[in-house]
Structure 1
Amino acid sequence: MDEQRSKAVTEAFVRLHKESLIYRDYRLVNWDCTLRTAISDIEVDHIDLKEDTMLKVPGYANPVQFGVLISFAYPLEEGLGEIVVATTRIETMLGDTAIAVHPEDERYKHLHGRYAVHPFNGRKLKIICDAELVDPTFGTGAVKITPAHDPNDFEVGKRHNLEFINIFTDDGKINSNGGAQFDGMPRFTARVAVIEALKEKGLYKDTKKNEMSLGVCSRTNDVVEPMIKPQWFVNCSTMAKAGLDAVRSKKIEIIPQQYEQDWYRWLENIRDWCVSRQLWWGHRIPAWYVTLEDDLDKNLGSNNDRWIVARNESDAKLEAQKKYVGMKLRLDQDPDVLDTWFSSGLFPLTVLGWPSDTTDLRAFYPTSVLETGLDILFFWVARMVMMGMQLGGDVPFQKVYLHPMIRDAHGRKMSKSLGNVVDPLEVINGMSLDGLLKRLEEGNLDPNELNIARDGKTKDFPDGIAECGTDALRFALISYTSQV
């Protein structure tokens, strides 16, 4: 990668860390089991399901059932009967560590502080009271708690000091914590197996259709799995406020103006940005882990307080020697890389020579106009504004002009990764189906994506594209320019 731009990325990370805007923490992240990496909130697409729905999931030969609520019972200790809970993700019950009820729910007051017993591993699940999470009027009024795999349960786990048990491997299989009966099963295969095992024990109750929002990765279409991982985060609160104020004060003008509301909605509800990625390409995170000679646990990253953020290994070594005077130590750089939008967010600064105080930077920053697609208003534009104001001291541009998106017949953005791009010349001159498929094969799609793209092209253009000449383009442009 370009040396100057790489230097700028490292400098930005170090400065933001020194300003306490970058930190490392164990948190629940959006995990993509296909990419085997964390992804940010805005890389997650949400599919609204109204009823029982079978969906194709990467890596599974058969469609997977979603949009249902599955009820089952946990037996109570001391022969007190059972307590019924419900979930849309039955496989996560393998990581349950508690059951929550409302403190004022009369049905369960006799169970406060008592325990249910996990049917597959014998783990004792404490009956806890949580008025913040539990709605006594919804379902049975009892909620299973899986702190390691659900955002709401994660907060309950922290409030009640529960055990956090991760039951998934990075590629989405059940690990040894899920029990020998399910160990090694892909998560959605385990979904079916858990239901069958509950039926055998007489604990399964029923399955009902349930409206839900399903999170999928915008790149792989894999179902996102909430997982606890140590990651690097950017605290966006103060930077987002600055970005909001810049648009409200008209220091930055968004054109068309209607997209200002999207800007406000995103930045007013922003969460801290997970910027570390478990990929082999990208800008490597400039952080080194200190392992001391007498450490019992020598695993990389096992102690969050041992990280040294620095511009290079020499600086990291000097800082580590000051912090651990006279101790024998080893430094290992974090193997993770940065989210691509972190480096992209520095674009207005780095093209003008930042972090050096160049003539170009003084003359042309802030710039005048940014022209880009409306689909990356938050992915890219908001990040450039936040980082530009924080590191450059001013807005990176004064106007943001958003162009519309070219979409296919199904309303999807035309994208190389989807294989649904139609070249205007193919419309003008015509193209046979074999020619369209050959174009796909000349691209860089992986085999699975290529098969999907081939099927799509064959369905959309079974006879290829007829020669339309240039009139089709003229009529399209006339239609577009005549719109009010």
Structure 2
Amino acid sequence: MPRFRAQEAVTDSLKKSGLFKETKTNEMCLRICSRSKDVVEPMIKPQWYVQCSDMGNEALNALAVMKIGSWRLSQASILLIGRVNLWLHNIRDWCVSRQLWWGHRVPAWYVVFEGDNNEEFGRFFERWVVARSEEEAQALADQKYEGKKFRLEQDSDVLDRWFSSGLFPLSVLGWPDDTKDFRTFYPNSVVETVHDILFFWVARMVMLGIILGGNVPFRKVYLHPMVRDAHGRKMSKGLGNVIDLVDIINGITLECLHDRLLEGNLDRKELDKVREGQLKDFPDGIAECGADALRFSLISYTAQTDKINLVIQRVVVTVSGVTNFGMQYGLL
């Protein structure tokens, strides 16, 4: 039932039951979806969860002997390790289902008997069958409901992206099949990532690797700084502050930078704001810097342990320095 009709139905039911008191005008904040412009209203829906307390303890023991380093071993690395341990000590059950269009489907099938009302799909928890494939689910359901006529319908939810990506060290080597690659190369030697997904990805890869693969998925975790914009903000399409490194190498005009924004899904008001930011940061666009200047600039940033605020003008200055050096010593 649509939400507005549901509100009217609830009101009518209260009136018929003699429980309705009065109606008042109430001002409230309505959340609006930035893409569809529709009103965002919470809806309670059953979800799939993974029990994590046992896996969390296994991961804690594994991380205690693993090496977690960064470009510079410092107090920051110790702080990050402590933060991950705190997360795992206080871990909660993990909601792994998402109501999205794209992703790996939840491997759960619902038993629908002849004559069932479609609106009752998923209502009876005992009818869910979880299996590796539809054939396996069919066999389990046949055994459970022997002699009854039914069909199986897979849950339309998809798995959380961190659950799917947590299987990466296993799936690239052929898991769940017992492949030669899996026997030879699992566990891997090292994973390289940034600190902000240390729990969301690394800790969960460790948990799933131990449970499904029988061992930690890697021996070392190597952290690198996160490249941010000149103002210290994380680069994202929603902010419109993503800088393509190819544009630094080859150069780009301010007009082309503005045109790139139209390829995204920014709101008109946000689009005007981002354009003003581009005009302020790159009034003349981005000059052609070449790959070497970009490399030198990024190397000079590696003294930072957790983030790199990439200032494009710094790359341009590096180009001038390299050019002057080459001309001074007759290299150009």
Mapped to 2, the partners of 1:296 and 1:438 lie a distance apart of 51
Counting aligned pairs with the same residue, the percent is 54
Verify the 8 A CA contact 2:254 2:278 in the aligned structure 1. Answer: no
Does residue 446 of the first structure (1) align with residue 262 of the second (2)? no
What CA deviation, in whole Å up to 9, does each residue of 1:304-347 have, x standing for no partner?
A: 11101123333322322221232222322211111122221111
Matched, 1:467 2:301: no
In the TM superposition, residue 355 of structure 1 has moved relative to its aligned partner by 1.1
Match of residue 237, structure 1, among 53, 57, 79: 53
Secondary structure of 2:63's aligned partner: helix
* Alignment gaps of 5+ in structure 2: 13-23, 71-76, 306-332
Does 1:228 pair with 2:44? yes
Q: Deviations over 1:85-120 (max 9, x none)?
A: xxxxxxxxxxxxxxxxxxxxxxxxxxxxxxxxxxxx
Q: Deviations over 1:133-190 (max 9, x none)?
A: xxxxxxxxxxxxxxxxxxxxxxxxxxxxxxxxxxx95xxx794279559xxxxxxxxx
Question: What is the one-letter code of the residue matched to 2:265?
Answer: D
- 1:31 aligns to what? none
Indicate yes or no: 2:87 matched with 1:255.
Answer: no
**Structure 1 counterpart of 2:287, which letter?**
E
Distance 1:419 1:400 in 2: 31
Q: 2:252, 2:288 within 8 Å by CA — same for their partners in 1?
A: no
Q: Provide the rounded CA distance (Å) in 2 between the counterparts of 1:392 and 1:475.
A: 41
> Structure 2: which amino acid aligns with 1:343?
S
C-alpha contact (below 8 Å) 2:107/2:132 kept by paired residues: yes
| CA shift in 2, pair 1:331/1:427, >3 Å | closer
Question: Counterparts in 2 of 1:6-85, with a 5 A limit?
Answer: none
- What RMSD, in angstroms, separates the aligned Cα atoms of the two structures? 3.6
Q: Distance in 2 between matches of 1:233 and 1:345?
A: 15
More strand by share: 1
Instruction: Tell me the secondary structure at the aligned position of residue 331 of structure 1.
Output: strand
Deviations 1:212-238 (A, max 9, x none): xxxxx9x99x99976532111111111
For 2:231, the equivalent position in structure 1 comes to 410
The residue type paired with residue 49 of structure 2 is: F
CA separation in 2, counterparts of 1:272 and 1:314?
Answer: 29
Q: How does 1:269-348 map to 2 (within 5 A)?
A: 269-293=90-114, 299-348=120-169
Aligned to 2:7: 176
Does the 8 Å CA contact 1:346/1:388 hold for their aligned counterparts? yes
Preserved contact between residue 59 and residue 203 of structure 2 (Cα < 8 Å)? yes
Q: CA deviation at 1:468?
A: 7.5
Q: Equivalent residue of 1:413, what SS?
A: coil
Matched position secondary structure for 2:162: helix
After TM superposition, give the deviation of residue 454 of structure 1 in Å.
Answer: 5.2
Report if the CA contact (8 A) 1:289-1:306 is conserved: yes
> What is the deviation of 1:278?
1.3
How many residues are aligned here? 278
Seen in structure 2, the aligned counterparts of structure 1 residues 438 and 262 have a Cα distance that, compared at 3 Å, is same
Gaps of at least 5 residues in structure 1 are 1-167, 182-191, 197-216
Name the CA shift for 1:330/1:466 in 2 (closer, same or farther; >3 Å). Answer: closer
TM superposition shift of 1:273:
1.0
